[in-house]
Structure 1
Amino acid sequence: MPQALSDTEIARALGGLANWRGNAGRLSRTVRLPEQAHGTLIGRVQRDAAELADHAQFERRRGELTFTVTTGFPGRVTEPDLWLARRIEALLTELT
C-alpha cells in the first residue's frame, strides 16, 4: 500500500505542477481545450492510471476538462497520484 504524503510533501510537489491544486485527499486541474481532444486525452490518462492502480476522474464542460486524481485509498495523496498528475501534464503538452 502506498504511503500517504504529508501536507508539506504535497505542497512541495504542487510547486512543480503549475495549475494543479490539491490537499491530502486529491489533486485536481482544469484545462481549456477543444472538446474533440477530450476523448483522446481521457483514454490515454485512463490507461496510465490503470497501470498504477490509480484513479482519474473527469468532468467535462464546454471547452474545459477537469481532472481529479485519487488513489484507491480515500483521503490520501500518494506518490502514484503525483506521477499521474505529471503524466497528465506531459500528455497536455504533447496534445496542445
Structure 2
Amino acid sequence: MTELLSDERITEALGALPDWRREGDALVRSVTLPSFPDAIRVVNRVAEIAENDNHHPDIDIRWRTLTFRCSTHSAGGVTEHDVSLAEEIDGVLEALA
C-alpha cells in the first residue's frame, strides 16, 4: 500500500507548489482559464496524464474555473503520487494556460 505523507512532508511539498493548498486529506488548486474551451483542453491533458499514471484527481469544472483535488483515496490521504500529480498539473497549466 502507498504510504501517507507526514504533515511535515506535505508542508515541504507545498513550498514547491505555491499555487496549491492543503484541504483536509487533499492537495487543492483552483485556476481560472481565459475561456471554457481552454479549461476543457487542460482537463483533457490532465486526464491523459492521470490515465497514464493510473492516479486520478478529482476535477470540478465551473465554466472557466477548474479545481483539482489530489488525494490517494485507497491510502486515505496525501501520498507522493499526489505531489507528483500536482507537479504534472502545474506543467500542463504552464503549457496550456
TM-score (norm 2): 0.87
Unmatched 5+ residue regions in structure 2?
A: none
Which aligned pairs between 1:76-95 and structure 2 lie closer than 5 A? 76-95=77-96
TM-superposed CA distance for 1:74, in Å, is 5.1
Identity of aligned residues (%): 35
Structure 1 residue 40 corresponds to structure 2 residue 41:
yes
Q: Tell me if the contact between 1:31 and 1:65 (Cα under 8 Å) persists in the aligned partners.
A: yes
After superposing on structure 2, the runs of 4+ consecutive aligned residues of structure 1 that deviate more than 3 Å are none
Spell out, residue by residue over 1:39-75, the C-alpha distance to the aligned partner (whole angstroms, 9 max, x if none). Answer: 2211211221222221211111232111111223253
The whole-number CA distance in structure 1 between the counterparts of 2:23 and 2:67 is 16
> Contact conserved, 2:3 with 2:75, CA < 8 A, in 1?
no
Alpha-carbon shift at residue 28 of structure 1 (Å): 0.8
Mapped partners of 2:79, 2:68: distance in 1? 16
Q: Does 1:50 align with 2:13?
A: no
Equivalent residue, structure 1, for 2:15: 15
Q: Secondary structure at the match of 1:29?
A: strand
Q: Is the 8 A contact 2:27 2:70 kept in 1?
A: yes
Structure 1 unaligned residues grouped into runs of 5+ = none
Cα RMSD after superposing both structures: 1.6
